[in-house]
Amino acid sequence: MKLHISNTAGLNLFTAYGDDYAAVNHEKHEKNLILLPGSVIPAWTTATVNTLSESDMNILLGLDTEIVLLGTGRSLRFPPGALLRPFASAGIGIEIMDLKAACRTYNILAAEGRKVAAALLFD
């Protein structure tokens, strides 16, 4: 196994998270957001996983990423399959996970230099 020192200076990373918040570079957020290594998009939608719309997902499709991590709150819940299908045809991976797992996974992928976005939905 190769080990590399990662340089995360200048990246947006999750520095803390809980059931009802996520901190980005020590700034606490309690509403739905999208995090990219170079930017934060606060309040990207007011939807829950049950009320996500095609327009919400189109925002994610337009982020110029190779993978989107959809954090669905305290527990893992899947949006309707019809909302996920366009990601496959666009060649963008989408992973559904609970909020905490999305935060952890995002930090790893961002530190590796991947084109990743975390889209978080809070309960």
pTM over 0.85: yes
Edge to edge, the sheet with strand 93-97 lists: 39-42, 33-36, 116-120, 67-71, 93-97
Interatomic CA distance for residues 91 and 67, integer angstroms: 9
Per residue in 32-88, pLDDT tens? Answer: 999 999 999 998 999 999 999 999 999 999 999 999 999 999 999 999 999 999 999
Q: Is the pLDDT of residue 4 over 80?
A: no
Architecture per CATH, domain 27-120, reads as 3-Layer(aba) Sandwich (3.40)
